[in-house]
Chain A
Amino acid sequence: MTKMIATRNAYGDTLKELGEINKDIVVLDADLSGSTKTSVFAKAFPERFINVGIAEQNLMGTAAGLAAAGKIPFASSFAMFATGRAFEIIRNSICYPKLNVKIAATHAGLTVGEDGATHQALEDISIMRSLPNIIVLSPADAVETRQCIMKAVEHNGPVYIRLGRAKVPVIFDHDYEFEIGKGVELRAGTDIAIIGTGVMVERAILASEKLAEEGIAARVINMASIKPIDKDIIIKAAKETKGIITVEEHSIIGGLGSAVAEVVSESHPAKVLRIGTMDTFGESGDGFQLLEKYGLSVDNIVKKAKEIL
């Protein structure tokens, strides 16, 4: 049976692991450490953990100052508040001076579930992607999350890492190595290409299996590095298949779908269908039932694939 681990749990564990090795790592949270899993780091290194209280602007501003003084701060909150409430501090105090702050935001997307629309960030990729100097990562599972955190520490500059609340299947083997700016082909195919990110990668794989039963060979690409994006793998898909479907637990405006469409339209025009939330807010409910309701389903991917063909 596939192992199920939430990416936020992988984040907490990796932070603790790296905290042992790198004493410059400090972690900040805004009263959500139990949920974001920075509590794992806090327990191991209480002196390097700073709770700023429920104050996301201050979370980012303080992190900026720590980075200016040579630290490697990880600032965590829910994606909604980290990128929404604190946007302008991220822009002016972190991205503009290119300070070495890592923003690891959990509870992104509909799979937040029962807390409802106020807590379901469906815009964070779009918001963060529009800022210069920042790297935007959206790992698909626990293994890739660990890799993303490690690569974020190696990179000198701002990084946004989008994480989820819900347990998701582990897709990658333990020896998988993630590279910033690179996508990964998970399934070969030349009929269509499905490019997914985050929790939707597993669904892309399941869709490709369903399509295979009908004799349709769907290429599946995992795109954890949303900025910089892997242009080569996208252009190759545009050239070698009849069209691209993007799938993300995010608005179709400004996220992965937009990023892929930008590359394709400028380099090798091809049909791109975007699956994501259709310019709408979410609602309360079981996270995975919400994915079905809002069209982020295996069946919808299959349906869109057939539309292209």
Chain B
Amino acid sequence: MELQQVANEIRKSIIRMLEKSKSGHPGGSLSAVEIMTALYFKEMNIDPSNPKWEERDRFVLSKGHGTPVLYGTLAERGFFPKKELDSFRKIDSMLQGHPDMKYTPGVDMTTGSLGQGLAAANGMALAGKLDNKEYRVYAMIGDGESQEGIIWEALMLSAHYKLDNLTVFLDYNGLQIDGKVKDVMNIEPIDEKYRSFGWHIIKIDGHSFEEISKAIEEAKKTKGKPTMIIANTVKGKGISYMENQAGWHGKAPSPEEAKIALEELEVGKND
């Protein structure tokens, strides 16, 4: 399957999952689909049949409410059967509301409380360096999440310890629950902030597979400092009525809304 087709399947999974669970976060999941697809279907060295493989590349979803895109991607990649997605957020499910390394094959770190995942990713990258391992650590943070203090503590640490085996994506969709990030608590100029913290910065269109892959290659070649890929994205990407709407941060579509969304995705597939 082409990456675009995979991404389309993951978007469908996200919509179906949320419709069934009647709860969850579509906006910030749909904005991250291309990045997740590129990571899990092209870039990361992983083995779905051996999720705890020691040499694997790691991924930490620091913006943990993006479970729909994480689970959709892991299921599509074969870490667990897609039918499991129907149980998302329900009692006795292996698919908890936020990522859980104890419950779900392929989840490398338990996250959900914002900001903590980046610190954990640092720990993994440090361990990789200590053990002279080749594996790389990837993480994704949100723009709203960047308002958390621990993010900046962690950013300092990654640069201080020269964690060039760490690549972080900022899913820069510009919206958080209460509205536009720039209105709630402006994080700009974010690129200058990262740079001044000692990071290598790459800015991309977070929905372009070509740009995502190019950025990851550049990150791999960047020595002595961690790389932040600032990915400009559209919250709710791919579903017309969800795009750029803060209201779709944490709301599940009704069956009617889901039907419209799935129809749009069918059309999108033929583009």
Interface residues of A (CB under 8 A from B): 26, 47-48, 50, 52-53, 55, 57-58, 60-71, 73, 88-89, 92-93, 96-98
Contacts and interface: CB of A to CB of B under 8 A. Distances in A.
The bracket for how many chain B residues form the interface is: 35 or more
A258 to B, nearest CB: 27
Contact of A47 (B111, B119, B130, B149): B130
A142 to B, nearest CB: 30
Given A58-B153, A69-B128, A97-B101, A89 B119 contact: yes
Nearest to A69: B127
Contacts, number: 110
SS class of chain B's interface: helix, strand, loop or mixed? helix
A69 B153 contact: no
A50 B126 contact: yes
Nearest to B155: A58
Contacts of A48: 130
Interface stretch (B2-10, B43-51, B102-110, B227-235): B102-110
28 contacts: A26-B127, A26-B130, A47-B130, A48-B130, A53-B153, A53-B157, A53-B160, A55-B157, A57-B116, A57-B153, A58-B122, A61-B115, A61-B122, A62-B126, A64-B116, A65-B121, A66-B126, A68-B101, A68-B120, A71-B123, A88-B113, A89-B119, A89-B150, A92-B112, A93-B111, A93-B119, A97-B101, A98-B102
A117 B126 CA distance: 35
A62 B157 CA distance: 9
Interface in B117-176: 118-128, 130-131, 149-150, 153-154, 156-157, 160-161
Most interface-central of B102, B118, B121, B126 (chain A CB within 10 A):
B126
The 3 A-B pairs with the shortest beta carbon distances in the complex, nearest first, are A65-B123, A61-B119, A69-B127
Given A55-B153, A97-B100, A97-B102, A65 B122 contact: yes
A218 B108 CA distance: 52
A282 B156 CA distance: 34
SS class of chain A's interface: helix, strand, loop or mixed? helix
B188 interface: no
A70 B119 contact: no
Contacts of A50: 126, 161
B54 interface: yes
A57 B149 contact: yes
B160 to A, nearest CB: 8
B54 A61 contact: no
A30 to B, nearest CB: 10
B100 A62 contact: no
A71 B58 CA distance: 15
B124 A66 contact: yes
A118 to B, nearest CB: 19
A97 B153 CA distance: 22
Given A68-B108, A71-B130, A61 B123 contact: yes
Nearest to A64: B120
